[in-house]
């Protein structure tokens, strides 16, 4: 739904790297290194599975450029260990919210990995102004009925924004007829993908020559799907106690203005920070609500925040 700029290596950096590679590869590599111990940290090439799919649609990894692009995403997401482990931890808290909403729309479960690559399951803001877990632009959010202003921004509401993402997926699926192009369209836009298909006279994502971000987009999702399915195979070791659990909440209805959320939170034995953690779509310390709209707030069980 948005475009992001990527930082590329400068020509100078590439030259330095090329020199170092040549210098390294020009040296003989000893077969045995007496200083190597089994506790040394090692980097290994990864075996690319012969069968990979996105939402049941097979990835043609037998094609050389497809195989290399898949290899890149598996390597990047395996060896960026700190980020990968954080994704595992956050997914345990947020996937249970996303998964049933996807299912209710008939969207394949694999689409939850788009939220991972869009935001890392965080309420972030892109340089282009996209916000929330699903990185929704303001114009798109309003088009799909989200309230967006300085007081309330429902792009930060996980459930509501997931509903918007699902409606977009269905619109794209109707246009393209397959889930892979649907996923790509979430990144480049339905019009953007349509234009490229027409210009290049092809019908499949894997036949398109695309920009850096959209060209990597589906491969990144599939890499995360593969790693999440086989964490130990890719070196991720953790127990359920290491993951971020869901904090139970109750829902309350508010159809009036709230003049002070600090005092409002105190009524439930919470502080302002705790209230905002569970309701990040409330953007200010008060709620205008001149229209008397009915809002639903999540109130966490206060014992989870007790010392």
Q: What is the pLDDT of residues 103-144, one digit of tens each?
A: 999 999 999 999 999 999 999 999 999 999 999 999 999 999
Render pLDDT for 224-248 as a digit per residue (tens, 0 to 9): 999 999 999 999 999 999 999 999 9
Give the number of other Cβ atoms within 10 Å of residue 294's Cβ: 10
Render pLDDT for 254-276 as a digit per residue (tens, 0 to 9): 999 999 999 999 999 999 999 99
C-alpha neighbours within 13 Å on the C-beta side of residue 222: 29
The three-point CA angle 97-301-152 to 5° equals 60
pLDDT at 302: 78
In this prediction the pTM is 0.85
Give the number of other Cβ atoms within 10 Å of residue 134's Cβ: 25
Secondary element (H or E) of residue 280? none
pLDDT at 305: 83
Taking 70 as the pLDDT cut, the residues of the chain under it are: 1-39, 307
pLDDT at 37: 53
Are residues 190 and 171 in contact, defined by beta-carbon separation less than 8 angstroms?
yes
pLDDT at 42: 83
Question: What's the whole-number average pLDDT of the chain?
Answer: 89
pLDDT at 103: 98
pLDDT at 78: 95
pLDDT at 306: 76
pLDDT at 143: 96
């Amino acid at each position: 739904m948005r475009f992001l700029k990527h930082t590329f290596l400068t020509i100078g950096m590439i030259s330095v790297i090329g020199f170092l590679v040549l210098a390294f590869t020009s040296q003989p590599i000893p077969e045995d290194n007496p200083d190597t111990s089994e506790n040394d940290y090692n980097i290994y090439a990864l075996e690319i599975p012969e069968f990979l799919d996105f939402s049941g649609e097979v990835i043609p990894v037998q094609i050389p450029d497809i195989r290399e692009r898949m290899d890149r995403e598996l390597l990047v997401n395996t060896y960026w260990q700190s980020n990968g482990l954080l994704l595992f931890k956050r997914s345990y808290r947020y996937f249970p919210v996303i998964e049933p909403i996807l299912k209710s729309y008939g969207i394949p479960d694999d689409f939850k990995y788009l939220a991972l690559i869009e935001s890392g399951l965080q309420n972030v803001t892109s340089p282009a102004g996209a916000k929330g877990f699903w990185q929704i632009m303001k114009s798109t959010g309003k088009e799909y009925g989200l309230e967006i202003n300085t007081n309330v921004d429902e792009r930060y509401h996980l459930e509501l924004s997931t509903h918007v993402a699902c409606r977009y997926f269905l619109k794209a699926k109707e246009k393209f007829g397959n889930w892979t192009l649907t996923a790509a369209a979430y990144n480049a836009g339905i019009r953007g993908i349509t234009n490229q298909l027409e210009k290049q006279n092809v019908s499949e994502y894997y036949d398109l020559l695309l920009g850096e971000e959209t060209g990597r987009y589906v491969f990144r999702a599939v890499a995360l799907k593969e790693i999440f399915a086989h964490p130990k195979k890719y070196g991720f070791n953790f127990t359920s106690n290491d993951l971020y659990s869901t904090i139970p909440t109750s829902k309350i209805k508010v159809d009036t203005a709230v003049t002070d959320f600090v005092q409002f939170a105190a009524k439930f034995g919470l502080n302002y920070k705790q209230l905002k953690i569970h309701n990040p779509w409330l953007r200010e310390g008060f709620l205008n609500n001149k229209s008397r709209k009915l809002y639903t707030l999540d109130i966490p069980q206060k014992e989870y925040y007790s010392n």
